[in-house]
Structure 1
Amino acid sequence: MRIAILTDIHANREAFAAVLADVDQRKVQQIVLLGDIVGYGPDPEWCCARAMQLAGAGALVVQGNHDAAVAKPDTSMNITARRAMDWTRPRLSPGQVAFLSGLPMTHRIGDLLFVHASANDPQDWIYVTSAQRAMPSFRVCQDRVIFCGHVHVPRLISCDINNRVAEQPIPMGNPVPLIRSRRWLAVVGAVGQPRDGRPQAGYAVMDTVRNELSFMRVPYDTATTVAKLRAAGLPESLAMRLQSGA
């Protein structure tokens, strides 16, 4: 099975559409969305409607912290995130709010675990930013591969039979063999707000037959999204972040 894993769409219609068009060319059998469908971006209605459509066609969707904040404001968010969420809420329909607030925290396909933030405490929205911060996720579950988002920076971490964790290099666009003598945690980047210095939308493809994971980047019409952000009066820092990918 080939699984396309998308996360942190953040109401970026142009990025979401570009990634889905790329996914269509890769003959995947399953789509998984790791949450944060809304927040930050200018098109929450469209992105939520598209996610609902995908879910209706069999995609698996988990909840992100911005999705949860639609129905229950999160005071721990930074001021920019809170401003964007305050702008987002009145633009969503009751059905969209119900969809986002009712999403599960995790999904599994065989020995693959899908979660927005971390496996050890999904509802605490912990950032997995290093090999050491991945260790709690490896400890609480026996899944062979854990897929998460939340950080917006692609990362691949392995855990060997002696529970030693190490970060692995990521060759963008080229498959990485996930050798079975180790367990793995993959932070798949972000569709709608990359933060690794590359402004292209990011996602990943897992091939369970070949046991390979590919981290993908897709260019999209950043200028259109930036213009929408500014027209909506959303914080200028969000526009600048999309332009730089940082």
Structure 2
Amino acid sequence: MLIALLTDLHANREAVSACLAHAQEQNVSQYAFLGDLVGYGADPAWVLDTVMDYASRGAYVLMGNHDIALIQEDRKGMNPIAFQVVEWTRSQLNEEHLAFIRNLPYRIEVQDMLLVHANAWAPEKWEYVEGTMEATRSMHATKAHITFCGHVHMPTLYHMTLTGKTGEFLPAPENSIPLSKQRRWLVIPGSVGQPRDGNPAACYATFDTVTLELTYYRIPYDAETASAKIITCGLPASLGQRLITGN
């Protein structure tokens, strides 16, 4: 089974469309959306409608911190830009969208894999995996051979040896990486809708559950249109500019 792993879509219709079209060309048979379907971008309803359609056909979908913010009444401590985006996003959605979000899980276990948005040790607290220390903590918190997570908008791969030593690897796009059973793995595909590694191309990954091969992809898309739509909606211009620069 070839799984497409897409995370941090952030209401970016152009990026999501490009990644899904590319995944279809790879003959993907299963999809996993690792949270943060909304936030920052101009097309939350379209992205949710699309993901809901995939979910109706068996796709895995997780809760992200931007998703849960839509259904929380107490948003004290949220920075002003994030608060503005949440309020605007809620105004674009209907009750069906919100009901779908309310029912999203924080974690999904499939075969020898764990899917989470943020980390394995406390997925509902949204702490980041920003280096080998957090990656080790996350891998120790599960018995799964491979953990797939998002939240961090930069594609990264961590591995832990049988002796507990953790290494970090920055994957090159379109290179097949065999995930040996002799190690534990934590896979961060990078963000579909808002990359932050200096490359504006959308990120996603595929994993073959038979050959255990992981492949990262960078997908160019119409970031100029996505950026302009953010500004037209009255959202902060910085969010649009970020799509152009990838930072």
Under a length normalisation based on structure 1, what TM-score does the superposition of the two structures give? Answer: 0.97
Match for 1:231: what amino acid? T
Structure 1 residue 76: Cα displacement? 4.1
Contact 1:154 1:187 in 2 (8 A): yes
Structure 1 residue 241: Cα displacement? 0.6
Query: How many equivalent residue pairs?
Result: 246
CA distance in 2, matches of 1:55, 1:153: 25
Is 1:159 the counterpart of 2:160? The answer is: yes
Contact 2:155 2:170 in 1 (8 A): no
Q: Write the deviation string for residues 111-139 of structure 1: whole angstroms up to 9, x where unpaired.
A: 01110000100000011111111111111
Is 1:53 the counterpart of 2:57? The answer is: no
- 1:68-217 equivalence runs, <5 A: 68-72=68-72, 73-217=74-218
Structure 1 residue 162: Cα displacement? 1.2
Q: Which residue of 2 aligns with 1:239?
A: 240
Structure 1 residue 148: Cα displacement? 0.3
Structure 1 residue 74: Cα displacement? 3.7
CA distance in 2, matches of 1:133, 1:100: 27
Q: Which residue of 2 aligns with 1:30?
A: 30
Deviates more, 1:2-11 or 1:71-80: 71-80
Q: Which residue of 2 aligns with 1:63?
A: 63
Q: Write the deviation string for residues 197-228 of structure 1: whole angstroms up to 9, x where unpaired.
A: 11011000001111111111111111111110
Q: Percent identity?
A: 44
Contact 1:70 1:101 in 2 (8 A): no
CA distance in 2, matches of 1:75, 1:146: 31
Q: State the superposition RMSD in angstroms.
A: 1.0
Deviates more, 1:231-240 or 1:163-172: 163-172
Q: Give unmatched runs, 5+ long, in structure 2.
A: none
Secondary structure of the residue that 1:71 maps to in structure 2?
A: coil
Q: Give unmatched runs, 5+ long, in structure 1.
A: none
CA distance in 2, matches of 1:137, 1:169: 18
CA distance in 1, matches of 2:77, 2:213: 37
Match for 2:238: what amino acid? S
